[in-house]
Amino acid sequence: MIKVSSSPHVHSRQNTQSIMLFVILALCPSAIWGVFVFGLRALVVLAISIASSVAAEYALNLISKEKTLWDLTAVLTGLLIGMNMSPAVPLGIPVLASVFAIAVVKWTFGGVGCNWMNPALGGRVFVFFSFSSAMSRFVLPSALGNADAVSSATTLSFAKTALSSGEFIGQNSLQILQTQLYPVSRFAESLSNSTGINAYTIDAFFGLQGGCIGEVSALLLILGGLFLIATKVITWHIPVVYAASYALLNWVFGGLPYGTGLFSGLVIDPLLRGGFLLGAIFMATDYVTTPVTRKGQVIFACGCGLFTFILRSFGSLAEGVSLAIIIMNIVTPTIDRYVRPKKFGYVKPVKGGAK
């Protein structure tokens, strides 16, 4: 007797728990580095974010009788929220962000697989607009000297402040003025002298810059992304196209706000700043909130690149990655509606063929 079961007929060994575990492992080097350069305060922020997220998930499991606590989605959400926080943030803010992410963004819309945007992004954006001043205070890595909180002490916000104050300066002048922001490491300074690469770019790549806990080391984030691609948890399409589209737009039009004209913008440096790599690799690739087809994912990534460029270059805020991804999360159902996968067994009719 032939038994016919419902789809899917081809199963993968991966499940939600294993996928979340791989993503957590990929994030661990960046999180550990953040604790190393910012101190134990960063560890406290990460621990509180994860604990609050898990506690909210547990409480909602008790109410709904669901058993989703052990799929590690809450742990990943809390980890991402903590990594998107400054070490100097008041401890109540990551608690509020985690609870909002789980209770509102995730469970209000049905729980695992039903949320329309990434819960960690939703929680982060919620507290950012609610506590903008507290969310804009950063500390310097201990290797750069003073580790006290510094208001808006990132190169992104530094450039935005210069533009908003009417100081339209050229790109080279911006790199020179960055020396007024905070010192560079001795390693970056020596490597810059021998290679000609900007010392701030070197520190941003290796992870010695002001910012949120998990976004400061571009190198470790890239290695985490390569690990996810190698284990087939994600594909290269969204992060690569996202980075390429943003870099292209920044090269062509990025010089306009500084008065340097077309084709004069920086290409590599903006990719290493702020939360770009953390968002492009670990948030824009979320299964639930991104298109299902490869073509749809490319469209999604191009949209993320476009909105990131617009928000960073012409918006009032220094950062724009989180909002850009959320905007494209809203567009995802439309992309899926018009960019559909090819039907199994479908053969395109030949024009002029026999009827």
Contacts of 86 (CB under 8 A, 6+ apart): 135, 137, 138, 139, 211, 212, 213
Residue-level pLDDT at 7: 60
Report the C-alpha gap between 36 and 87 in whole angstroms: 12
Rounded distance between C-alpha atoms, residue 238 and residue 291, angstroms? 10
Mean pLDDT per 10-residue interval, the chain, length 355 residues:
63 82 97 94 97 95 84 95 94 97 92 87 95 85 60 64 58 52 81 88 89 93 97 96 97 83 87 93 94 96 97 86 96 93 69 58
**89: its two tokens:** 């943030």
Report yes or no: 31 and 215 within 8 Å, Cβ to Cβ.
Answer: no
- Locate 100 and state its tokens: 């909002």
For 345, left (φ over 0), alpha (ψ -120 to 50), or beta? left
d(CA 174, CA 178): 6
Taking Cα atoms as reference points, which of 241, 236, 323, 240 lies closest to residue 275? Answer: 323
pLDDT at res. 174: 52
**DSSP 8-state class, residue 337:** H
330, β-bridge pairs? none
pLDDT value for 141: 81
| DSSP assignment string, 148-204 | SEEET-SHHHHHHHHHHTT----HHHHHHHGGGT-PPPHHHHHHHHHH---HHHHHH
CA distance 355 to 351: 10
Q: Within 13 Å and on the Cβ side, how many CA atoms surround 104?
A: 13
Residues 6+ apart with CB under 8 A from 129: none
Q: DSSP assignment, residue 255?
A: T
Alpha helices by DSSP H, listed for the chain, are: 16-38, 40-64, 73-83, 92-100, 119-130, 132-135, 155-164, 171-177, 186-195, 199-206, 218-230, 237-253, 269-272, 276-282, 294-314, 321-338
In sequence order, the 6+-apart residues with CB closer than 8 A to the CB of 205 are 217, 218, 219, 272
Half-sphere exposure of 12 (CA within 13 A, CB side): 9
Name the nearest CA neighbour of 34 among 197, 191, 220. 220
